[in-house]
Chain A
């Protein structure tokens, strides 16, 4: 149990396009999901907290108009990177509230050319 999936696992896009990443809790419901970003050989940096049915809470320095988050159901949160640029290239990981802890998705690697 407690499986979190992400789709896609890999995405390569041209600069200026928008990319949507999905995070799903497969066998449990999550009122709260989190989006993290990880640069090579770095730790996870929290980007935002996604709450079902309400607006996401963004961490300082994260542009909410650039990283759109929608948590429309108890099993799905989406992160849309709008007008992506090469500096947005990174590994994006989501996690879902599983009670006493969080369960992480496998990550989405984004490469913007």
Chain B
């Protein structure tokens, strides 16, 4: 079955770059997503990447996709204390909003001032 794995914790100093990693098992994954969840809140879509792309950059966020290794990463440049949150990797095999996403367990990012 589909499975998405993430490391559970990451701690970085303010101003440094954060890299959150994710691996997935389903080779037919079409879209891969990164969501951010702040304490007590819902999920905020940060960015997503199509499987035919290797990289996507959006301001401080850079997503890298290694389809051969089924590895996805999210890099946050100049990490700020406001970036402290849980980051979920998720995948979809259809790229359609009609099918549910498969989520990883989330990586808790702590930013030290």
Which residues of A come within 8 Å of B, CB atoms?
4, 6, 30-32, 34, 42-44, 46, 49, 93, 95-107, 109
CB interface residues, B 55-113, toward A, < 8 Å? 88, 92, 95-98, 100-101, 103-106
On whether the beta carbons of A43 and B44 are closer than 8 Å, the reply is no
Interface membership of B10, Cβ < 8 A:
no
Q: Is the interface of B mostly helix, strand, loop or mixed?
A: loop
Add 19 more A-B contacts to A32-B97, A44-B88 (CB < 8 A).
A30-B97, A32-B98, A34-B100, A42-B105, A43-B103, A43-B105, A46-B100, A93-B43, A95-B43, A97-B97, A99-B97, A100-B31, A100-B48, A101-B33, A101-B92, A102-B100, A104-B42, A107-B40, A109-B40
Output the least CB separation between A70 and chain B (Å): 18
Are A104 and B45 CB-contacts (below 8 A) given A42-B105, A43-B88? yes
On whether the beta carbons of A101 and B100 are closer than 8 Å, the reply is no
B interface bracket (residues with beta carbon within 8 Å of A): 20 to 34
Are A101 and B103 CB-contacts (below 8 A) given A32-B98, A43-B88? no
Which 10 pairs of residues, A with B, have the shortest CB-CB distance? A97-B97, A106-B42, A104-B43, A107-B42, A43-B105, A104-B42, A32-B98, A43-B103, A46-B100, A44-B103
CB interface residues, B 23-61, toward A, < 8 Å? 31, 33, 35, 40-45, 48
On whether the beta carbons of B95 and A103 are closer than 8 Å, the reply is no
- Chain A residue with minimal CB distance to B86? A41
Considering the chains assembled together, what is the distance between the CA atoms of A38 and B13 in angstroms? 29
Which residues of B come within 8 Å of A, CB atoms?
31, 33, 35, 40-45, 48, 88, 92, 95-98, 100-101, 103-106
> Can you give 10 contacting A-B residue pairs, CB < 8 Å?
A32-B98, A34-B100, A43-B106, A44-B43, A97-B98, A99-B97, A100-B97, A104-B43, A106-B42, A109-B40
What residues on A are CB-neighbors of B98 within 8 Å? 31-32, 97
Considering the chains assembled together, what is the distance between the CA atoms of A93 and B98 in angstroms? 16
Are A104 and B105 CB-contacts (below 8 A) given A32-B98, A49-B100, A97-B98? no
